[in-house]
């Protein structure tokens, strides 16, 4: 799924901004066309019959409207990742120049820049989140194109909890990065509830 030219630059927006922009642009779509039957699947209601959520997520989110669905599965993350630059190396490896944007309700956001070598954006995100104290392991990975964007659906765990998360972005890399940030946030929020 991950393809890259020797060097890919991302200068426009962070993944969170990309995801917000995608949701804003699609907000005007009318999910209930008179010729279409409403489904229990929020993605199908929003984008049509040919776009379906993965089975487990579809069952969990059955009947949710789009706003509740995105608020639940794509929450604003305390740690957002943004791959600024990706360089292709030898042996199937990539060098990631990444920003971790830390935010909270009580402090100003601060950005930490990191560089690491990994086999792809998903592995890079897992490593960075684990180093930040938010271990996030993928159990199920689904990705699809919606218009000119990409949506990623992940089932993630930290060995104590398992949750679904989603991410949207202009590219597969940006989408998986947003989904990993959402997954880490959901695991972190869930963990606080049960501790």
Q: Render pLDDT for 66-87 as a digit per residue (tens, 0 to 9).
A: 999 999 999 988 999 988 999 9
pTM recorded for the entire structure = 0.77
Q: Which residues of 161-177 are buried (b: 16+ CB within 10 A; e: fewer)?
A: ebbbbbbbbbbbbbbbb
Q: Could you tell me how far CA 173 lies from the centroid of its own chain?
A: 9
Burial of 159 (0-12, 13-18, 19+ CB in 10 A): exposed
Are 69 and 164 in contact by the 8 Å Cβ rule? The answer is no
Query: Residue 166's pLDDT is what?
Result: 98
The full set of domains in the chain, from first to last, is 7-12+74-194 (3.30.160.270)
Q: Under DSSP, is residue 173 helix (H, G, I), strand (E, B) or coil?
A: helix
Are 109 and 102 in contact by the 8 Å Cβ rule? The answer is yes
């Amino acid at each position: 799924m991950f393809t890259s030219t020797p060097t890919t630059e991302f200068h426009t927006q962070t993944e969170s901004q990309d995801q917000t922009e995608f949701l804003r642009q699609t907000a005007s779509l009318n999910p209930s066309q008179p010729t279409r039957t409403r489904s229990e699947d929020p993605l199908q209601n929003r984008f049509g019959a040919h776009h379906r959520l993965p089975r487990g997520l579809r069952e969990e989110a059955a009947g949710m409207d789009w706003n509740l669905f995105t608020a639940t599965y794509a929450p604003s993350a305390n740690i957002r990742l943004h791959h600024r630059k990706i360089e292709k190396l030898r042996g199937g490896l990539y060098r990631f120049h990444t920003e971790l944007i830390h935010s909270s309700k009580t402090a100003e956001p601060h950005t930490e820049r990191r560089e690491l070598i990994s086999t792809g954006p998903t592995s890079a995100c897992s490593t960075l989140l684990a180093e930040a104290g938010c271990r996030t392991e993928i159990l199920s990975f689904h990705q699809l194109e919606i218009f000119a964007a990409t949506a990623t659906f992940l089932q993630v765990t930290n060995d104590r909890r398992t949750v679904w998360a989603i991410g949207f972005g202009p590219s597969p890399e940006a989408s998986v990065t947003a989904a990993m940030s959402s997954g880490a946030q959901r695991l972190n929020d869930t963990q606080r509830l049960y501790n």
